[in-house]
């Protein structure tokens, strides 16, 4: 068990003796009363007071852009970040272990999450070196020389999601730091403890006040921080409702920059010309990796009615071969779902679909025991069902048969989301005819492949309620900075 009694503020690891919250793993252990979520640790429930201390520290460190960090050369900031990566890597095994216990991610995926994050930081450092090289002097008009820089924005409130508590949190936190901003960092509710071993690395790598932690119930502390009007950037990955509420709490919303990655309902479209085996293996990965708890997961499948039976049969067979088990067991690809309320919510979605005429077409589909849910393929889904529009964020796959391609296009047009789509077809003319309609409705079209964020150098964004701003290696550096000029009259 890990009991965190410290928080990082103004360069100090401060002792905490206030209220704490208990962390229960989605991994179940046998007890006298049956299987139960295991207590794995505790951490502080911070109050507005510590949140304000953190804000004060970040404001002082930024000092209206005059602080040590925002004025430090890019080369020196990079040295600090390289020190951080070194120290972070020393905690690799512990952090991977905590990812498995805290959110139930498999060993393979938890390891990938850690290593991908280190690679992401290294690639971001390289991209920053490019930006630095481009900041050379050049003449913009007769008699005037200008230097174009990338300058920081100020104080960032950074909040990541539970499904990639390390990796996605760091896709905003790292570029925000590198560009010279100072930060308030609130780790996700499920995925707080795994950041504890990294706090010392932050403390020892950056000047005081650059990174300050905020704990506590989000609803109690974050709106208060926004209300001060002193947050310059909201970096948030999670639900659009929370993001909108936070933005609205800011008294000068037009001065706030928001970098957001939010809700999605990514569709896969299987035309009658698709390679069904390929479509099934990609859709299975796309819909069920980490139990479907990914913003980029395939969350609804449109299949042409002529191939629907065959597709459903193959999908059911593929799911039957999946290996459920504990996160650290080799070869496991179905693990417990993270959020305690999720199994009941998914069961409710399935019941609602049944009440409106669908069935679960695969054996054991939807069977659940405490935190474990066996994947369900629900067919045929229609617009009356919750599963038609709601983002289930779990291992339930709604499938809709279609006759005309206009049906999935209309679905996408009417959708409040616009992240990604996957199109499966072996007909190049058909593929070509579908790219334009979809690429102007979502932010990434995947041909004969699942939806996903990587490779991380690609821009990552979305339309409508799915995102604001663009993340990735170079795009994120731009998102957390502004182009500024120093001009000299010759």
Footprint of ligand G3H (CB under 6 A): 163-164, 168, 294-296, 452-454
Element (H, E) at 300: strand 298-304
CB atoms within 10 A of CB 10: 16
Evaluated on CA atoms 471, 264, 304, 414, the torsion sign reads: negative
Least separation in angstroms between residue 245's CB and ligand G3H is 20
Crossing angle for the helix pair 240-249 and 218-227, to the nearest 10 degrees: 40
Q: Which residue, 50 or 263, is less far from ligand G3H as judged by CB? A: 263
CB distance 25 to 40 below 8 Å: yes
Q: Which residue, 415 or 420, is less far from ligand G3H as judged by CB? A: 420
Side-by-side strand order, sheet with 34-44 = 2-3, 34-44, 20-31
CB atoms within 10 A of CB 382: 14
CA quadruple 433, 437, 440, 441: dihedral, nearest 10: -140
Whether the upstream peptide bond of residue 159 has omega within 30° of 0, thus cis, is no
CB distance 155 to 182 below 8 Å: yes
Least separation in angstroms between residue 389's CB and ligand G3H is 19
Least separation in angstroms between residue 452's CB and ligand G3H is 4
Cα 52 from Cα 228, distance rounded (Å)? 9
Cα 360 from Cα 92, distance rounded (Å)? 41
Long-range contacts of 328-334, Cβ-Cβ distance < 8 Å, separation of 24 or more: 328/100, 328/106, 328/107, 329/107, 330/107, 332/106, 332/107, 333/106, 333/288, 333/289, 334/288, 334/291, 334/372, 334/374, 334/375, 334/395
Least separation in angstroms between residue 321's CB and ligand G3H is 22
Least separation in angstroms between residue 284's CB and ligand G3H is 14
Q: Which residue, 261 or 362, is less far from ligand G3H as judged by CB? A: 261
Least separation in angstroms between residue 36's CB and ligand G3H is 28
Q: Which two tokens stand for residue 471?
A: 């993340």
Least separation in angstroms between residue 448's CB and ligand G3H is 17
Least separation in angstroms between residue 200's CB and ligand G3H is 27
Q: Which two tokens stand for residue 48?
A: 């507005």
Cα 222 from Cα 234, distance rounded (Å)? 10
Cα 136 from Cα 133, distance rounded (Å)? 6
Least separation in angstroms between residue 458's CB and ligand G3H is 11
Cα 325 from Cα 374, distance rounded (Å)? 11
Q: Which residue is nearest to ligand G3H (CB)?
A: 295
Least separation in angstroms between residue 296's CB and ligand G3H is 4
Cα 73 from Cα 187, distance rounded (Å)? 28
> Given 3-state DSSP classes, what are the helix, strand and coil percentages for the chain, each rounded to the nearest 5?
40, 25, 35
Report the DSSP pairing between strands 34-44 and 2-3.
parallel
Q: Which residue, 160 or 209, is less far from ligand G3H as judged by CB? A: 160
Task: Give the angle subtended at the CA of 320 by the CAs of 315 and 323, to the nearest 5°.
Answer: 120
Least separation in angstroms between residue 347's CB and ligand G3H is 23
Q: Which residue, 368 or 422, is less far from ligand G3H as judged by CB? A: 422
Least separation in angstroms between residue 295's CB and ligand G3H is 3
Paired with 199 in beta bridges are none
């Amino acid at each position: 068990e890990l009991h965190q009694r410290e928080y990082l503020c103004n360069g100090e690891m401060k002792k905490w003796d206030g209220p704490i919250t208990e962390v229960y793993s989605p991994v179940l252990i046998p007890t006298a009363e049956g299987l139960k979520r295991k207590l794995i640790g505790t951490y502080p429930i911070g109050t507005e007071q510590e949140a304000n201390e953190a804000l004060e520290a970040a404001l002082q460190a930024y000092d209206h852009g005059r602080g040590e960090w925002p004025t430090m050369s890019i080369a020196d900031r990079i040295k600090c970040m390289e020190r951080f990566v070194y120290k972070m890597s020393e905690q690799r095994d512990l952090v991977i272990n905590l990812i498995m216990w805290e959110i139930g991610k498999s060993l393979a995926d938890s390891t990938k999450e850690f290593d991908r994050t280190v690679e992401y930081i290294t690639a971001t450092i390289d991209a920053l070196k490019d930006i630095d090289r481009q900041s050379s002097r050049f003449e913009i008009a007769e008699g005037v020389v200008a230097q174009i820089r990338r300058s920081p924005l100020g104080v960032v409130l950074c909040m990541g999601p539970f499904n990639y508590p390390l990796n996605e949190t760091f896709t905003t936190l790292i570029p925000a730091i590198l560009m010279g901003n100072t930060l308030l960092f609130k780790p996700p509710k499920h995925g707080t403890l795994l950041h504890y071993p990294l706090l010392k690395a932050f403390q020892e790598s950056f000047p005081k006040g650059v990174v300050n932690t905020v704990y506590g119930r989000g609803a109690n502390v974050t709106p208060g921080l926004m209300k001060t009007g002193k947050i310059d950037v909201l970096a948030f990955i999670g639900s659009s409702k929370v993001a909108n509420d936070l933005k609205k709490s800011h008294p000068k919303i037009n001065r706030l920059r928001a970098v957001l990655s939010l809700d999605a309902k990514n569709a896969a479209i299987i035309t009658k010309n698709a390679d069904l085996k390929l479509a099934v293996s990609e859709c299975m990965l796309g819909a069920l990796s980490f139990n479907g708890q990914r913003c980029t997961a395939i969350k609804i499948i449109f299949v042409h009615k002529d191939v629907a039976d065959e597709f459903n049969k193959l999908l059911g067979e593929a799911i039957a071969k999946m290996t459920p088990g504990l996160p650290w067991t080799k070869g496991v690809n179905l693990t417990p779902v993270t959020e305690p309320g999720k199994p009941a919510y998914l069961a409710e979605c399935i019941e609602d679909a049944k009440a409106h005429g669908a069935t679960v077409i695969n054996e054991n589909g939807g069977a659940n025991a405490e935190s474990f849910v066996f994947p369900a393929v629900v067919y045929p889904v229609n617009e009356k069902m919750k599963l038609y529009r709601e983002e289930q964020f779990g291992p339930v796959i709604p499938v809709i048969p279609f006759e005309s391609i206009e049906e999935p296009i209309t679905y996408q047009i009417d959708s409040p989301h616009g992240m990604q789509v996957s199109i499966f077809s072996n007909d190049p003319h058909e593929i070509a005819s579908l790219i334009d309609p979809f690429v102007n409705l979502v932010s990434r079209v995947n041909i004969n492949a699942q939806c996903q964020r990587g490779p991380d150098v690609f821009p990552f964004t979305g339309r409508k309620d799915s995102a604001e701003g663009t993340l990735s290696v170079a795009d994120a550096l731009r998102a957390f900075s502004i182009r500024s000029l120093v001009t000299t009259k010759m």
